[in-house]
Chains A and B, each alone.
Chain A
């Protein structure tokens, strides 16, 4: 079975099902269940805490990188397409 050993600045803790990790005063991460290689986590945090799957960030990074790679194109044609679309 493959394991991930973590980065040099990563705190690695072992938890059993039902046990939690408290982060600051207001964030609690609980290990809910383990099915094979899949772990279910429960996260309790204040309403305005932003929680994302890491893939979302990677996807946006990729989207930004690919959008920056703008090759030569025809501004007149593109503008016309947008004008047509926005026509009432």
Chain B
């Protein structure tokens, strides 16, 4: 199906690639459908766009947290897993929302509220981790050991 996009003009997204967010994203509760797009079609980059298919203006930059932090601690309760139809022992796939300020070196990722995906059902939900270890703004480019 075709969707309008402020950033890309028009998006052609097959129905099988639509990601469903049954409860939206915190602050965007009415946005239930998104698609993942390359950050830039001509550049290889671990960043992606999570583009709303309902609001042509709305797109988040997202990335896989494990790329930057291989020991990222993501645990969900069985109840939370059920909300996106995951079994207790299914591996977890996640994306975190990236904020890109004017000074690119200061870009941050929200590690405390990952978007967890059920890739088979194309279901996705933002969960809030109870750990005190993470925050909404982690510097993405920071070296883990200085």
Contact = CB atoms under 8 A, between A and B. Distances in A.
Interface residues of A, number: 29
Given A63-B113, A79-B47, A81-B104, A68 B60 contact: yes
Tell me whether chain A's interface is mostly helix, strand or loop, or mixed.
helix
Contact-residue bracket for chain B: 35 or more
Interface string B43-69: 111110000000000111100000110
A75 B60 contact: no
B73 interface: no
Contact of A79 (B43, B99, B143): B43
A7 to B, nearest CB: 18
A63 to B, nearest CB: 4
A56 B110 CA distance: 12
Interface of B: 25-28, 39-40, 43-47, 58-61, 67-68, 77-80, 97-100, 104-105, 107, 110, 112-113, 126, 128, 130, 136-137, 140-141, 143
